[in-house]
Structures are given as structure tokens and as C-alpha cells.
Amino acid sequence: MDFTIKQIASLLEGNIIGDENAKVNQLAKIDEAAKEGSICFLANPKYENFIYTTQATAVIVKDDFQPKQNVSTTLLLVKDPYIAFTKLLEEYNKLAQQYNAHQRIGIEQPSFAGKNLHIGEGFYLGAFAYVGNDCEMGDDVKIYPHCFIGNNVKIGKGTIIHPGAKIYDNTQIGQYCSIHSGAIIGSEGFGFAPQADGTYKSIPQLGNVIIKDYVNIGANTTIDRATIGSTLIQEGVKLDNLIQIGHNVIIGEHTVMAAQAGVAGSTKIGKMCSIGGQVGIVNSVQIADYTQIGAKAGVNGNVKKPKTTIIGAPAMDFKNFMKSSVIFRKLPELQKRIEQLEEKILNLPPSKG
């Protein structure tokens, strides 16, 4: 679809320098081979040199941008180019989803739909997908090919289950969620009771997973069902690819978590938290609201104070970690000084006392 710069400026509340009737139909990065018909953005000054050579039809820039050379492209001046381009991406994605919603409707064959399946308007079930018995699907739910949906699953309006995702029995998923390829929701939790002879006995996992509205689950992420009750992912949570969420975990509203993080069972994470990649959190701890956890941190205790930043393994307060890092870097020098002092002490003349 083609859009004029004037239409985009209206959306972004920006001002135009150049041809307001020029048309664009794709988004591009300014440091790559952007061509006519594309629109880019310039937010980082180190990429400024590209604006003088780009073939893009238009570039979104900050409203105080002063070019040092002639610019052949149309400029769209906004308060914050990065936020403006993000908004443009959102609108583009919304249009793409709307297009797919209109294009993908109905039940393709071969596929399997169980008994008592209740579906809303605009429902789509892709080829080679399986949906079990007693399921409820809201309006515009899209289940792509090769997905598995177990029995008694409820999926809310506008949610998309991407190819190859697996949703186990009794899972509840809210509205406008996105479950990406390879994700597994509701698999059996890691519950084993040690026995006197050193073996382990499996503990039945009888609960489910509840995912609230506007949640994004990345590719190959797994969320275990609860032993009893529910593993709960609250509204607006964003989970990256390759994340493990254990049984009975609760993740608060709008918390984000980067790839390869792991959360052990029965942990409670507050709202608006930010958790870096490869973070490991032990079982049954509580993480306060607005906590920030740096990449590769190992969290083995409660974080009680909101807006705390921790890092390291074991994780500690960020300021203490930085102080400890300074000392750690000095250890070779300190060791050398200690060895020199020991040598001096050994070479001291014997005391006459």
C-alpha cells in the first residue's frame, strides 16, 4: 500500500520539508540500501552521513535537525524520531494483521477440530492443525498450520497462535496475545519428590496456565502448568524467545524478560520489572515491582524493595556490584603487593629481643 508523506506527517504530528505528495510503501534502515519508495529515520548522530546519500523517498528526523550538506530526500521533522518510527511500525503491523485477518478465515483441510468447538467471527484454523474438545475461540483468533490446541482451551479475541506452537489442556489465553512458533504452553511442571533410596517420584501436575490480555510469548519459550492452581502471566507481559517459566510462577503486569532467562517454580515477579538475558531465578522467591535485573544475574533471594536494580551471580545491588567489580579487577595487583610484603617480612633480620 502506498501512503503520502502528508498522510504519515498527520499520523506522527510532524512537519515536512520537501514533497508532501511523495509516496512510500515500505520501511527501511538508513544505513542500508534504502531505495525510492521507502521511509527511514535518523535518531543517532553517528548515522547522519547516510542522510546525504540515501535513495529513500523520506527520512524522519528530529525537529531541530540542521543538515550540513544538501539533502535530496524529503524530511519529516518530529519531536523524537525513534518513537515516531516505532509508531509507524506499529501502524504498519496493524494494517498487515488486518490484511491477514481478512485473508485467513475458515478451517483449512486437512486439520482436526474436536467436539463442542465454539468459534467467533473471523476464526482461522490452518492446515495440519489440531484443536481438541470443548474449546472456545473468540473473534479473529488465528491458529496457524501445525499447531496443537488441547482440550478445554479458551483463546480470546484477536489472539494469534503462530505455526508449530503447542497449547496443552485447560490453558486460558486472553485477548490480542501473540504466541510464537515453537512455544509450549501448559507442559508438565518439573515436580519430582526425592525418595529415601535416592530415586525420584513424579508429582502430578494438575493445574493450568492462565495468560491475560496483550501478552507476547516468544518462539520456543515454555510455560509449565501449575501443580495445583494456575501459572499466571498477567496483562501486557512480554517474554522473549527461549525462556523457561516454571510451575505456579506469577509474572506481574507489563514485565519484560529477555531471551534464555529461567524462572523456577512458585516464584512471584512484580509488575513493570525488566529482566535481562540469561537471568536465573531460584524457586519460591518474590521480586518487587519495577525491579531491574541485569543479564546473567543469579537471583537466589527475595527482592523486597521496589525499583531495585541488581546484577551478578549471586545477584546483588547494582552499586555494590560495581564497587566489588573495582576490587576484583585489582586482585592481581593486590596479590603481587602481598607477595612482595611477605618476601620483605621473611628477609627481615631476626629480632634481638
Each residue's pLDDT tens digit, 145-176: 999 999 999 999 999 999 999 999 999 999 99
Label residue 325 by pLDDT band (50, 70, 90): confident
With a cut of 70, say whether residue 207 has pLDDT above it: yes
Highest mean pLDDT among 82-91, 132-141, 321-330: 132-141
HSE-up (13 A, CA, CB side) for residue 292: 7
pLDDT of 198 reads 93
CB-CB contact of 281 with 294 (8 Å): no
- Phi and psi dihedrals of 186, rounded to 5? 95, 15
% the chain with pLDDT above 90:
77
Question: Of 258, 245, 250, 232, whose CA–CA distance to 289 is shortest?
Answer: 250
pLDDT of 91 reads 86
What's the average model confidence in pLDDT over 53-74? Answer: 93
Hey, where are the domains in the chain? 3-103, 165-317
pLDDT of 101 reads 61
Give the CATH fold of the 165-317 domain: UDP N-Acetylglucosamine Acyltransferase; domain 1 (2.160.10)
With a cut of 80, say whether residue 85 has pLDDT above it: yes
% the chain with pLDDT above 70:
98
pLDDT of 345 reads 85
pLDDT tens column, 37-47? 999 999 999 99
How many angstroms separate the CA atoms of 26 and 280, rounded? Answer: 39
With a cut of 80, say whether residue 84 has pLDDT above it: yes
What's the average model confidence in pLDDT over 253-272? Answer: 97
With a cut of 80, say whether residue 97 has pLDDT above it: no
What's the average model confidence in pLDDT over 72-77? Answer: 94
3-103 to CATH, choices 3.40.630.10, 3.40.50.300, 3.40.1390.10, 3.40.50.1370: 3.40.1390.10
What's the average model confidence in pLDDT over 123-150? Answer: 97
Q: Which amino acid is at 97?
A: Q
Label residue 100 by pLDDT band (50, 70, 90): low
Label residue 351 by pLDDT band (50, 70, 90): confident
Rounded to 10°, the helix 5-12/81-103 angle is 110
With a cut of 80, say whether residue 182 has pLDDT above it: yes
- The catalytic residues are 247
With a cut of 80, say whether residue 102 has pLDDT above it: no
pLDDT of 298 reads 94
Question: Of 254, 253, 246, whose CA–CA distance to 223 is shortest?
Answer: 246
pLDDT of 334 reads 85
Largest CA distance in the chain: 101
Task: Calculate the average pLDDT of the chain.
Answer: 92
What's the average model confidence in pLDDT over 50-75? Answer: 93
What's the average model confidence in pLDDT over 328-338? Answer: 85
Write out the three cell numbers for 253.
503486569
Q: What is the pTM of this model?
A: 0.77
